[in-house]
Structure 1
Amino acid sequence: MSAERNLQTLLRQMNPEMRDGIFVFSTLPADSKIPDAIAPLLTFSEREGTTLVMRREDADSIGQTWQFASRLITLNVHSSLEAVGFLAAIATRLADAGISINAVSAFYHDHLFVPADRANEALALLQGMSGPRSG
């Protein structure tokens, strides 16, 4: 399957799906080892430290402080890493509704972390952008 670049096709076929659980963002000092007791969904190294995105219960189990309790929505279209405007259209739609997002583009899909208390609303808005379109 080849990655899609056409914006209208991406929007029509995005098929957003919410993953179970609450995810949180945390950080460790740059020279720290990730505790073996957790399995972060995402890690990203910055000069200031290593960002960890993990399930809230994992962070709580090791006493790790965290921010941004969120739900994860995956856009189930194989989007090209070179696609233009896809995340911009989504971010604009959610911003118009006052919903923040933290987006991650992986090899196959784009993933959106949205505030846990607005996740159902975000999913409904994305579903409204998706599906059959004319013109």
Structure 2
Amino acid sequence: MIGELNLTTLLRSMKPKLFEEDYVFCSVPTERVATLNLIPVCQFRESEGMTLIITKQQAEEVNLDYEFVCQMITLSVHSSLEAVGFLAAITNKLAENEISVNAVSAYYHDHLFVPANKAEKVMQILTDMSK
């Protein structure tokens, strides 16, 4: 099943879903990750270490330093990894509203990590964009 490529269809069909749990970004030495017994929603290896996106609760349970308390919004439309402009349209609209966003594209969906205190506003913006 190939994901959607058409920008208009993507925007109309994005069906954003807000996850109420707080997430955070952490960086840990790559060799330490296996010892932490965490279930990250995302991890990415960088030269400085492993970036983990985990729940705030998990970070606090293992005493990890973290930044950017956020909530995750999943765009439920199956977007193609080759779609052009979808995230750009969204991030530009959020920038117009002075809202930061960290986007993660996965196989089926795009996921937005937005400041926890602005998540509801982001949901309203996304809903308006899909009309």
TM-score, structure 1 as length reference: 0.93
Looking at structure 2, the residues matched to 33 and 92 of structure 1 have their Cα atoms a distance apart, in angstroms, of 34
1:69 counterpart letter in structure 2? V
Which residue does the alignment assign to 2:129? Answer: 129
Q: For 1:20, what is the secondary structure of its paired residue?
A: strand
Map residues 17-28 of structure 1 onto 2, 5 A cutoff. 17-28=17-28
Following superposition, the deviation at residue 36 of structure 1 comes to 4.1
2:129 counterpart letter in structure 1? M
Gaps of 5+ in 2: none
Looking at structure 2, the residues matched to 2 and 105 of structure 1 have their Cα atoms a distance apart, in angstroms, of 15
Query: As a proportion of its length, which structure holds more helix?
Result: 2
Do structure 1's residue 120 and structure 2's residue 117 form an aligned pair?
no
Which residue does the alignment assign to 1:76? Answer: 76
TM-score, structure 2 as length reference: 0.96
Gaps of 5+ in 1: none
Quick check: 1:5–1:84 contact (8 Å CA) kept in 2? yes
2:8 counterpart letter in structure 1? Q
* Identity level (%): 47
Which residue does the alignment assign to 2:4? Answer: 4
Which residue does the alignment assign to 1:60? Answer: 60
Looking at structure 2, the residues matched to 52 and 34 of structure 1 have their Cα atoms a distance apart, in angstroms, of 12
- Give the paired residue count: 131
Looking at structure 2, the residues matched to 47 and 14 of structure 1 have their Cα atoms a distance apart, in angstroms, of 33
